[in-house]
């Protein structure tokens, strides 16, 4: 998808050159200062009750007089919130989705204020969401919408914010598409081996570092807990390590850890049959890590990023781990496996221990971890768990900004008692009460060496029913978080400095002027000092 922006005042919309003009309207048409005939049409429809400023309302106009655009779709936007913009745009896109003649789309807004960064981001994400179709295992691939180019029309004064929002939004949309595609592929088309192959292809295409460990390699590392999950499967496990190096080697990376269970039968603690097919989505955390790398590789922030993905199936067999078995994790702590269906935490704990060797600035794990989280929060918010208030707040903010919200859950030490075992250092389940919390408490025992947060995406990574499929969440949250971290580090780096040279060496090619330039500065003494204290502490 080709996204661009063009400066065009609202009064000049008549000259907008597109197969379809999507006009988002956030206020009653009277006084919007649209081109005369269009203004009149919308006002008349409004007066007749055919159009209203309410969510979901839209008006399709075919070749309206005086307009260069062949079609105009007017969509109501209830308020100027980015969420409302996304909904209005989704509605407008639905009206032109089936039309083969719509190759170029222009998007304008009236009565919603100047385009903000968040609004422009929402536009790009909405286009990305509407553009995706799954075809990998269909004998004839379904047709995606015909649109190839989307131009955001911006009045002159808000162009810089809109441009940055669009830049971020289109990268996030590409990351979401990647994540959705991987998640949607059936278990026999997305084995640990194939998932690792997809990660390798992504790395090759976008210049990322990658290392993939096979079973022998994982044994050598000593990931006994991870391997205990893989035991029952004929498909060999993989441990994927991805790297994006956008800053000096000395800078502590953000580490993202994604649960990559490519199919979860429950193992010997077999799941019931109904809807078990949806357990192909149990690698949604891994998919979101890959999608975030896809977005970050394109946006090129000044930051270092590591992705860790333990990938395996969870299967019953004569060799499978049994309830009551005790295994030794990479950390040395022993675990009594009381339920083989609580496998996500068993593979994550070893990846979390492995994360220590990167001396990370922080670690965020992402997992379709518990059905209990779906009961607690439903399908709108991901569950966020962290003992670190500042890190938690940054993640909540990133989710809100990118329309990919999370809700903070507790981690009080009282919950830890539920993990007591008579035969090992801990049990892998904590009973029915607060199931998503005890799962997080289990992980917490492996994260003492760094700042850590956990996202339980069991309710948000995919949709069931008629719209069954991966959502691409939480790629928006994670990408915004990474960008915000990079931004705040550049702010610190640039602290005390005034102007930066325009030709600073590592300026990302696509970066806009000004703010980004400061980001291209070499590590300032203050930041360098902090980094080395961090290293010393770790």
Identify the CA nearest to 443 among candidates 419, 423, 422, 461.
419
Report the nearest approach of ligand BES to the CB of residue 437 (Å).
11
Closest to ligand BES by CB, 101 or 378: 378
Active-site option among 117, 345, 445, 517 = 345
Q: Which of 298, 341, 404, 456 binds Mn ion (CB under 5 A)?
A: 341
Q: Within positions 261 to 300, which residues make up the interface with Zn ion, using CB under 5 A?
A: 261, 264, 282
Contact partner, 418, from Zn ion, ligand BES, Mn ion, none, Cβ < 5-8 Å per class:
none
Report the nearest approach of ligand BES to the CB of residue 311 (Å).
14
Provide the 8-state DSSP code for 192.
H
Report the nearest approach of ligand BES to the CB of residue 344 (Å).
5
Active-site option among 271, 400, 463, 534 = 271
Report the nearest approach of ligand BES to the CB of residue 512 (Å).
40
Contact partner, 372, from Mn ion, ligand BES, Zn ion, none, Cβ < 5-8 Å per class:
ligand BES
Closest to ligand BES by CB, 6 or 339: 339
Burial class from Cβ neighbours inside 10 Å (0-12, 13-18, 19+) for residue 27 reads middle
271 annotated active-site: yes
Tell me the CA distances in angstroms from 182 to 71, 105, 136, one per residue in order. 35, 28, 10
Report the nearest approach of Mn ion to the CB of residue 244 (Å).
30
Q: Radius of gyration of the chain from Cα atoms? A: 25
Q: Which stretch binds Zn ion (CB under 5 A): 64-72, 231-239, 339-347, 457-465?
A: 339-347
Structure tokens, 535:
């290293």
Identify the CA nearest to 93 among candidates 123, 49, 121, 65.
123
Closest to Mn ion by CB, 173 or 229: 229
Report the nearest approach of Zn ion to the CB of residue 418 (Å).
19
User: Site residues (CB under 6 A) for ligand BES?
Assistant: 264, 282, 339, 341-344, 368-372, 374, 429, 435, 458
Q: Within positions 244 to 273, which residues make up the interface with Mn ion, using CB under 5 A?
A: 264
Report the nearest approach of ligand BES to the CB of residue 442 (Å).
10
Closest to Zn ion by CB, 282 or 313: 282
Q: Kindly write down the DSSP assignment for every residue of 281-293, as one continuous string.
A: GGGHHHHHHHHHH
Report the nearest approach of Zn ion to the CB of residue 468 (Å).
18
345 annotated active-site: yes
Cβ-contact 484, 405 below 8 angstroms: no
**523 makes contact with Mn ion (CB under 5 A):** no
- CA–CA gap between residue 365 and residue 444 (Å, rounded): 11
Closest to ligand BES by CB, 471 or 490: 471
**344 makes contact with Zn ion (CB under 5 A):** yes
Contact partner, 224, from Zn ion, ligand BES, Mn ion, none, Cβ < 5-8 Å per class:
none
Burial class from Cβ neighbours inside 10 Å (0-12, 13-18, 19+) for residue 501 reads exposed
Contact partner, 21, from ligand BES, Zn ion, Mn ion, none, Cβ < 5-8 Å per class:
none
Contact partner, 10, from Zn ion, ligand BES, Mn ion, none, Cβ < 5-8 Å per class:
none
Cβ-contact 153, 115 below 8 angstroms: no
Cite the beta strand spans of 155-279 per DSSP E: 209-213, 238-245, 254-258, 260-264
Q: What are phi and psi of 366, to 5 degrees?
A: -130, 125
Q: Point out which residues pair with 318 in neighbouring strands.
A: none
Q: How many CB atoms lie within 10 A of CB 503?
A: 8
Provide the 8-state DSSP code for 388.
-
Q: Kindly write down the DSSP assignment for every residue of 448-501, as one continuous string.
A: TTS-EEEEE-TTTSEE-GGG-EE--TTHHHHHHHHHHHHHHHHHHHHTT-----
- CA–CA gap between residue 257 and residue 182 (Å, rounded): 16
Q: Which stretch binds Mn ion (CB under 5 A): 322-330, 342-350, 362-370, 446-454?
A: 342-350
Closest to ligand BES by CB, 180 or 493: 180
Length reported for the chain: 538
- CA–CA gap between residue 460 and residue 240 (Å, rounded): 23
Binding-site size, Mn ion (CB under 5 A): 3
Residue nearest to Mn ion according to CB distances in the complex: 341
Closest to Zn ion by CB, 264 or 523: 264
Closest to ligand BES by CB, 277 or 390: 277
Contact partner, 179, from Mn ion, ligand BES, Zn ion, none, Cβ < 5-8 Å per class:
none
- CA–CA gap between residue 532 and residue 44 (Å, rounded): 66
Residues forming the site for Zn ion (CB under 5 A) = 261, 264, 282, 344
Give catalytic residues, as residue numbers.
271, 345
Residues forming the site for Mn ion (CB under 5 A) = 264, 341, 343
């Amino acid at each position: 998808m080709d996204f661009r922006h063009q400066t065009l005042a609202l009064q000049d919309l008549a000259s907008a050159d597109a197969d379809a003009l999507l006009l988002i309207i956030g206020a009653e048409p009277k006084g919007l200062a649209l081109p005369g005939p269009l203004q009149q049409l919308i006002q008349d429809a409004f007066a007749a009750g055919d159009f209203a400023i309410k969510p979901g309302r839209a008006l399709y106009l075919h070749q309206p007089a005086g307009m260069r655009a062949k079609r105009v779709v007017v969509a109501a936007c209830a308020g100027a919130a980015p969420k409302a913009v996304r909904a209005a745009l989704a509605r407008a896109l639905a009206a032109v989705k089936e039309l083969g003649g719509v190759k170029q789309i222009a998007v304008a807004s009236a009565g919603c204020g100047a385009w903000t960064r968040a609004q422009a981001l929402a536009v790009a994400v909405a286009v990305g969401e509407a553009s995706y179709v799954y075809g990998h295992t269909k004998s004839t691939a379904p047709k995606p919408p015909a649109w190839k180019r989307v131009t955001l029309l911006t009045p002159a004064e808000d162009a810089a914010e809109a441009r940055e929002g669009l830049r971020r939004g289109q990268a996030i949309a590409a990351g979401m598409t990647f994540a959705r595609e991987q998640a949607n592929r059936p278990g026999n088309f997305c084995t640990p081996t194939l998932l690792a192959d997809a990660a390798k292809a992504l790395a090759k295409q976008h210049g990322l570092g990658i290392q993939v460990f096979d079973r022998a390699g994982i044994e050598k590392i000593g990931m006994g807990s991870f391997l205990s999950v893989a035991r029952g499967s004929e498909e060999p496990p993989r441990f994927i390590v991805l790297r994006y190096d956008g800053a000096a080697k000395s800078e502590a990376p953000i580490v993202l850890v994604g649960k990559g269970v490519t199919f979860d039968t429950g193992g010997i603690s077999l799941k019931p049959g109904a809807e078990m097919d949806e357990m192909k989505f149990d690698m949604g955390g891994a998919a979101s890590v890959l999608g975030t790398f896809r977005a970050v590789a394109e946006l090129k922030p000044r930051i270092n990023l590591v992705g860790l993905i333990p990938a395996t199936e969870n299967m019953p067999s004569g060799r499978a781990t049994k309830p009551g078995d005790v295994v030794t994790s990479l950390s040395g702590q022993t675990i009594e496996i009381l339920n083989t269906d609580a496998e996500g935490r068993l593979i994550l704990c070893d990846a979390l221990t492995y994360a220590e060797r990167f001396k990370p600035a922080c670690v965020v794990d992402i997992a379709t971890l518990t059905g209990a989280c779906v009961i607690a929060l439903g399908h709108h918010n991901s569950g966020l768990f962290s003992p670190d208030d500042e890190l938690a707040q940054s993640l909540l903010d990133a989710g809100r900004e990118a329309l990919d919200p999370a809700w903070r859950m507790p981690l009080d030490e009282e919950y830890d008692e539920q993990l007591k075992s008579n035969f090992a250092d801990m049990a892998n389940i904590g009973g029915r009460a607060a199931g998503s919390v005890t799962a997080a408490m289990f992980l917490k025992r492996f994260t003492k060496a760094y700042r850590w947060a956990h996202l339980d995406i069991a309710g948000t990574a995919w949709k069931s029913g008629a719209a069954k499929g991966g959502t691409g969440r939480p790629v928006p949250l994670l990408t915004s978080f990474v960008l915000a971290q990079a931004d705040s580090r550049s702010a610190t780096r640039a602290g005390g400095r005034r102007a930066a040279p325009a030709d600073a060496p590592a300026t990302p090619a696509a970066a806009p002027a000004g703010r980004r330039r400061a980001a291209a500065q070499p590590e300032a003494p203050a930041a360098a000092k902090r980094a080395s204290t961090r290293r010393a502490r770790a």
